[in-house]
Amino acid sequence: MGRVADRLHSAAIHLLRRLRVEDEALGISAPRLSALSVLVFAGPKRIGELARIEQVEPPTMTKLVDGLVRDGLALREDDPDDARAVRVRATATGARTLRRGRAKRLATLRATLGTLSPGELAALGEGVDVLERVLGER
């Protein structure tokens, strides 16, 4: 059963190395894409909030947001309730880029997983379900 841990670890590394290549073609790294996805689906967030959601320290999120802003995918706004804070919001371009990235990954997934049976794909989906549940519990 320790095998599951080892294999999961290794598979995650290899998966990300693989996806990184694709996302580069899209012009956005995985961590930025992940943060952008939160902004698009859950709406504007403060830096600290985003950092917590993405499980990184605030300075790391500052940098990630810098990148998104530089690329025009998100923007910083003053928080109306707290002058120390910053609200980060996805731009229309950001939302569009996310959709495009999703379409791209979907296409790649179709190509890559084309050989898998529906049953295997379902198994993968269920594995992801479990993983999400486990990771969600801080």
Partner DNA sequence: AGTAATTCGTTAGGCTATCTAAATATAATC
Partner DNA sequence: GATTATATTTAGATAGCCTAACGAATTACT
Q: Judged by CB, which is closer to a copy of itself: 10, or 93?
A: 10
Q: Judged by CB, which is closer to a copy of itself: 30, or 77?
A: 30
15 belongs to the binding site for a copy of itself (CB under 8 A): yes
Site for DNA in 4-63 (CB under 7 A): 13, 17, 29-32, 46-49, 55-63
CA atoms within 13 A on the CB side of 82: 7
Is the Cβ–Cβ distance between 74 and 96 less than 8 Å? no
Q: Which residues contact 93 (CB under 8 A, 6 or more apart)?
A: 72, 73
Is the Cβ–Cβ distance between 26 and 103 less than 8 Å? no
Q: Of 25, 83, 92, 135, which lies in the binding site for a copy of itself, with binding defined by CB under 8 A? A: 135
47 binds, among a copy of itself, DNA, none (CB under 5 to 8 A by kind): DNA
Least separation in angstroms between residue 112's CB and a copy of itself is 6
Backbone phi, psi, residue 89, to 5°: -130, 140
The mark string for 97-116 relative to a copy of itself (x by CB under 8 A, - otherwise) is: -----xx-xx-xx--xx-xx
Return d(Cα 120, Cα 117) in angstroms, integer.
5
Least separation in angstroms between residue 104's CB and DNA is 17
